[in-house]
Amino acid sequence: MNEKIIVLEKITKSFFGNNALTDVDFDLNKSEIHCICGENGAGKSTLIKLLSGALLPDNGKIIIDGAVYKGLSPQQAHVLGIQVIYQESHLFPNMNIAENIFAGHEKLKRFCIIDKRTLHLEAQKILDDLGTDLNSYSIVDDLSVAQKQYVKIARALAHHPKVLIFDEPTTMFNITDANRLLNTIVELKQKGISIIYITHKLSEIIQIADRVTVLRDGYKISCHDSSLKRLTISQITNDMIGRSMELLYKREKSQIGKTVFEVKDLKVKPGGPQVSFSLRRGEILGIAGMVGAGRTEIAEAIFGVAKKYGGTFWLHGEEIRNNTPQHAIANGLCLITEDRQKTGVLLDMNINQNITITALDKIKGFLMDKNHENDLATEIVKKTNLKALDYNTDVRYLSGGNQQKVVVGKWIFRDAEIIIFDEPTRGIDINSKSEIYALMEDLLKDGKSIIMISSDMPELISISDRVLIVKGGKIVGQLEGDDINEEGIIALAL
Amino acid sequence: MKNKKLLNIFKNQSVFLALIIFAMILIISSINKRFLSTTNIFAILQQISVLGIATMAATMLLKSSLFDLSSSGIISLTCVMVAKFITDGMDTTLAAFIGLASSLAMGALNGIIISKTKTLPLIITLGMQYIYSGIALVLTGGVFIGLKGKFSYLGNGKILGIPVSVIVFFIVVVIVSIVLEWTRYGRRLVAIGNNPEAAYLSGIDVDKYTILNYMISGGVFGLAGLVLLSRLGSVISNVGAGYELRSIASAIVGGVSVSGGKGSVFGAFLGVILMGIISNGMNILSISSYYQDIVLGILIVVAVIISNIKNMKAN
């Protein structure tokens, strides 16, 4: 039965000059489970959003049941029977399961009054058919993560979909729940629903995929058919990685000194795993791992943004407390967050004001001497190679790369010793990326040390002196020197 | 670079406002020459001095994306307390200082509750409003308190022909300007108003500065109350009613953004002037004061729309 429900032909989509997908071909047969996998940034999310109507492709065709579209709107996707189950919870926590399932298309009696009896009867039927033991009257907020996932599936099923798209559904699951979900999905396929399943867990792919398409850097690399040839993890991994890639950036070797900072037995959630590692002066310690592996949580606990449930921090051999960001900053640490627009820069203030905010006391005078402030800021601007037409413009109008330089700049101004970068070059163009790396090298020369969380494989490999791989909230491996390569990292991260 | 600056000046809401004020002055004074007489000008300034001081307090809060709906309660309670102390025989200066101290305390209390419980300022200050005005009501026993001529200098005295209340108003404007623009404290307030999370991650103790902000603003509201008490010479329990909204409205008309972004003290100052001109002008033109509210309301809505046009265009 090779009836093609969905065909994507030469789909291209880019954002601000970055290609998310380039000339991608993909197709989905009726009643098949077609997995899509790839590293962070391969283009998986973009593909889903094109199918769900959240985005429009720049080029290419979307063919659904033989009808050709240049792009879909969410309503069209809905009418065509495409339902997506996203990772982030989009349920209404204070309403019950039945209300969530039928939100927006409730069963109505006369005069638009909700027919609660039918609502719950039908909701319960969907839940039972799914094989869950959930009760339609339960309040969603009280459910576990796995149970909420089933509610999302039930909600999608209530629309009688032809296609169900799952986006990394088992990220937060334990083994038992994950296996149950996989079995459920196979049952759904047998009921005639065609399924696209996005995951980076290769074992799941081996378990349920009829076919698997591998994406890398926005390109479709391969499509394997399990009925033709048995799928193997090494085969898929090879496709995800590709052949040896050129180094993104050639790093100067720096003088690496003694240990400056240590984390011992850190727990970021009660009863969670313990994390321990050390950072040496003058090194860049890369932190690799798939999205959701728990890296940002570790950084936030170190910086005092999030509460820690155990463990200690040591600076130059002495114990320190980082209970709040102020403490951490006073101890010489700083955190350059993932989302610079949201938490990194003060968008409606100018460059000078953004840079000096971390150490206003350095400005002379009882009332701030603005000329001195300008001098101090100009020093930093020169050091970070920031290019802006007018230093009076609000940071909002700077490019992503320049905004990131402002953020780094304000921590240089503060003389931070240990700099934690969370995705340092996300959303930044290639040229500015090199400038940020050069800036990092300068920091090392000045005796600073860097912890760099990154999902950008070339970045991790080119820039890091050592790489720690995080999975499930704990460190599962460490690579150093020549061992830092894509195979090594992926093998441990997945 | 220079051309850009010129264009930007015209886009600036303060300039726009100044033009409107200028236009209104021309129109009204052409209908009635008395409008521009020295006596009338000082009358206008004196009439708006209390609102003006309160607006400065509201502006400091708005710059941090905060507001205090209990400010009318703070004003009322301060007035009532000081009035009672004076009529009970206390030295007027001492009474005034105790009044100021208590308004600082009331502001601080608001700030502490808001920052420690992480609740919306809207809800907390609304509740505190009832508490403060309720206490004022209890203290007066529902009866008016007359000062019998005491404590009159602040509200009615003159120095070199200029009303003391106006001098106090201008001094407050200058000080608040300096604080917000030139002190590290003010810079932190503005950063918090801009992006509290980024400010927190940059090492600013957001809780501490929120409390300080509410406290100092509370004190300035208290000062407004003292001027009000002195001008009236008497007090009833809800003497401060309406100031909580009018002070915010004047600031908004002046271009101060509710989301803590744009807006200057000078703009807020112009907003107060405009309010004063409208009510005084309408009196002089013998337009019923009932229409003033409608005019004020239209002003506020138009002002917010204008300051949001930039946002709409940006999107």
User: CATH number for the domain including B244?
Assistant: 1.10.3470
What one-character DSSP code corresponds to residue A396? Answer: G
pLDDT band at A406 (very low <50, low <70, confident <90, very high): very high
pLDDT at A171: 74
Buried b (16+ CB within 10 A) or exposed e, A425-464: bbbbeeebbbbbbebbbebbeeebbbbbbbbbbbbbbbbb
pLDDT digits (tens, 9 = 90+) for B103-119: 999 999 999 999 999 99
Among A324, A339, A342, A348, pick the best mutation site for testing chain B contact (most B Cβ within 10 A).
Answer: A348
A contacts of B202 (beta carbons < 8 Å): 325, 357-358, 410
CB contact under 8 A, B201 and A353: no
Instruction: Show the domains of chain A with their CATH numbers.
Output: 4-241 (3.40.50.300), 259-493 (3.40.50.300)
pLDDT digits (tens, 9 = 90+) for A449-462: 999 999 888 888 88
Helix (H) or strand (E) holding A61: strand A59-64
- Whether B315 is in a domain gets the answer no
Closest Cα in chain A, distance from residue B304 (Å): 18
- Which among A303, A343, A358 has CB closest to B197? A343
A contacts of B189 (beta carbons < 8 Å): none
Closest Cα in chain A, distance from residue B187 (Å): 8
Among B202, B256, B315, pick the best mutation site for testing chain A contact (most A Cβ within 10 A).
Answer: B202
- Any CB–CB contact under 8 A between A371 and chain B? no
pLDDT at A242: 66
pLDDT at A245: 46
Closest Cα in chain A, distance from residue B134 (Å): 36
Closest Cα in chain A, distance from residue B280 (Å): 36
A contacts of B63 (beta carbons < 8 Å): none
CA distance A352 to A375: 9
- Any CB–CB contact under 8 A between B200 and chain A? yes
CA distance A256 to A281: 6
- Any CB–CB contact under 8 A between B194 and chain A? yes
Tally of structural domains, chain B = 1
Mean pLDDT of A250-277: 91
Collect the ranges in chain B with pLDDT lower than 50.
1-4, 10, 315
Mean pLDDT of A183-211: 91
A contacts of B197 (beta carbons < 8 Å): 342-343
pLDDT band at A388 (very low <50, low <70, confident <90, very high): confident
B278 burial type by CB count under 10 A (0-12 exposed, 13-18 middle, 19+ buried): buried
Note down the domain range covering B166: 43-309
Helix (H) or strand (E) holding A386: none
B contacts of A303 (beta carbons < 8 Å): 201
- Which among A348, A410, A414 has CB closest to B262? A348
Single pTM value for the model:
0.80
So what's the ipTM on this one?
A: 0.88
CB contact under 8 A, B199 and A345: no
- In order of A40, A146, A173, the CA distances from A292 in angstroms are 11, 16, 11
A contacts of B188 (beta carbons < 8 Å): 357, 360
Mean pLDDT of A351-367: 95
CB contact under 8 A, B187 and A360: yes
CA distance B285 to B294: 16
A contacts of B194 (beta carbons < 8 Å): 346-349
pLDDT at B313: 63
Helical H segments across chain B, by residue range: 2-11, 13-31, 38-62, 71-87, 92-117, 121-140, 153-156, 164-182, 184-194, 196-201, 206-232, 243-253, 265-284, 290-314
pLDDT at A28: 94
What is the residue type of A335? L
CB contact under 8 A, B261 and A335: no
Contacts across the A-B interface (CB distance below 8 Å): 63
pLDDT at B2: 41
pLDDT at A6: 93
- Whether B278 is in a domain gets the answer yes
- Whether B257 is in a domain gets the answer yes
Helical H segments across A33-115, by residue range: 44-52, 74-79, 97-101
Write phi, then psi, for A14 (nearest 5 degrees): -135, 155
CA distance A262 to B160: 69
CB contact under 8 A, A368 and B187: yes
Mean pLDDT of A174-187: 88
B contacts of A410 (beta carbons < 8 Å): 202
B contacts of A344 (beta carbons < 8 Å): 198, 201
- Any CB–CB contact under 8 A between A367 and chain B? yes
pLDDT digits (tens, 9 = 90+) for A206-260: 889 999 999 988 889 899 998 888 888 778 877 877 654 455 677 887 889 999 9
CA distance A270 to A443: 35
Quick one: closest CA in A to B179, which residue?
A367
Cβ neighbours of A328 (radius 10 Å)? 25
pLDDT at B226: 97
- Any CB–CB contact under 8 A between B158 and chain A? no
- Which among A325, A348, A353 has CB closest to B201? A325
Closest Cα in chain A, distance from residue B78 (Å): 31
Quick one: closest CA in A to B192, which residue?
A346
CA distance A98 to A120: 6
Among B201, B257, B310, pick the best mutation site for testing chain A contact (most A Cβ within 10 A).
Answer: B201
Higher pLDDT, B310 or A57: A57
CB contact under 8 A, A357 and B187: yes
- Whether B253 is in a domain gets the answer yes
CB contact under 8 A, B184 and A360: yes
pLDDT > 70: percent of chain A: 97
Quick one: closest CA in A to B189, which residue?
A357
Quick one: closest CA in B to A408, which residue?
B202
- In order of A124, A125, A130, B128, B135, the CA distances from A120 in angstroms are 6, 8, 15, 44, 52
- Whether B280 is in a domain gets the answer yes
The helix/strand/coil state of A164 is strand
Highest mean pLDDT among A44-53, A170-179, A470-479, B207-216: B207-216
A contacts of B184 (beta carbons < 8 Å): 360-361, 363, 368
| Nearest alpha-carbon partner for B61 in B101, B121, B15 | B121
Chain A from 283 to 312: CB within 8 A of any B CB? 303, 305
pLDDT at B1: 37
What one-character DSSP code corresponds to residue A251? Answer: P
- Whether B31 is in a domain gets the answer no
CA distance A102 to A93: 14
pLDDT > 90: percent of chain B: 62
